[in-house]
Amino acid sequence: MFEEPYRWMEAVSTRHSYVQEKLKLGQPVLSVPFDEGVLIMGFAPQPGKIFEIYDRIALGGVGHPADVERLRMTLLEMAHLEGFNRSARDVTLARLLQFGIAPALKQNFEEIQRAPYIIRLLLVELDHESNPTFFRINYDGHWETFKKGTVIAGNEKVMDWIQKEIQELPFATFTLDKALEEVCRLWTESKNQEDEDGENDENNNFPKTLKEIFDQWYLEGAVLLGKVERRAIYRALTKEEIEKLKTSVG
């Protein structure tokens, strides 16, 4: 069936359309710097979007939970193998992406007989000098690098709008509380982009205000702290931090 090039190209195009349609309802996950490290957070009907991968590496995922979990485990195994064979300092996202996960995703996507991954991943790394680097990788293996923060979402228009807003805000100068408030604001205002596309008409049960979001969905978040002496710099947001955020934006 795929001996002729145009048929293969048509099949790949169909896969793009299929995955994008499946991803469309995926809720944004944002990661930005703040004055003491990096924040990664998002809202969802159920937890399971944000994870620690290695000492200074965190992951956010949008898409099918099984695919996110499969790729999380793949990255986890790759990172620990790299750390065992070399050293913990040699485990970098650039190596994990360039020589590991990106080629695997590309191969999977181009093998038409195999089911494609329904995912977008956000990965963030804080180096030993506390400089953050943000990565966004697509279901077909294409990945991008950002310095000021990034976002993943199912809706590409929403993703592009939030990315532009992130680039224009001085997140690196914000406290954690201020960064949380601004990320919540961007998350909520991004819903206007969905309204313009008519997607919220299909999802009238989705919460639309921050109060509804806090009442109905989970806020999942974590930080990588650069100015700490201990090896473990990843921690989840505390209940106190979440309650304080709910009060400040309520």
pLDDT tens-digit profile of 179-233? 999 999 999 898 877 766 655 555 567 787 888 889 899 999 999 998 776 666 9
Instruction: Give the chain's mean pLDDT.
Output: 89
Determine the pLDDT at residue 196.
64
In a domain, 11, yes or no: no
Using CA atoms, how far apart are residues 66 and 193, in angstroms rounded to an integer? 28
pLDDT of 249 reads 79
Position 25 scores a pLDDT of: 87
Report if residue 67 sits inside a domain: yes
Collapsing DSSP to helix, strand or coil, 133 comes out as: strand
The CA distance from 106 to 140, in Å, is 5
CA triplet 233, 236, 241: central angle to 5 degrees? 115
Whether 19 is covered by a domain: the verdict is no
Closest to 159 (Cα-Cα) out of 137, 129, 177:
137
Euclidean distance between CA atoms 162 and 165, whole angstroms? 5
Q: Is residue 40 part of a domain?
A: yes
Residue 170 forms part of a structural domain: yes
On whether residue 10 sits in a domain, the answer given is no
Own/partner pairs, 199-206, CB within 8 angstroms, 24+ separation: 199/24, 199/25, 199/155, 203/25
Q: Please report whether residue 5 resides in a domain.
A: no
Q: What is the CATH number for 147?
A: 3.60.20.10
- The predicted pLDDT at position 195 comes to 64
**Domain presence at residue 20:** no
Predicted pLDDT at 123: 97
Instruction: State the residue range of the domain holding 151.
Output: 26-249
User: For the segment 6-64, what is each residue's pLDDT rounded down to a tens digit?
Assistant: 687 888 889 999 999 999 989 999 999 999 999 999 998 888 899 999 989 999 999 99
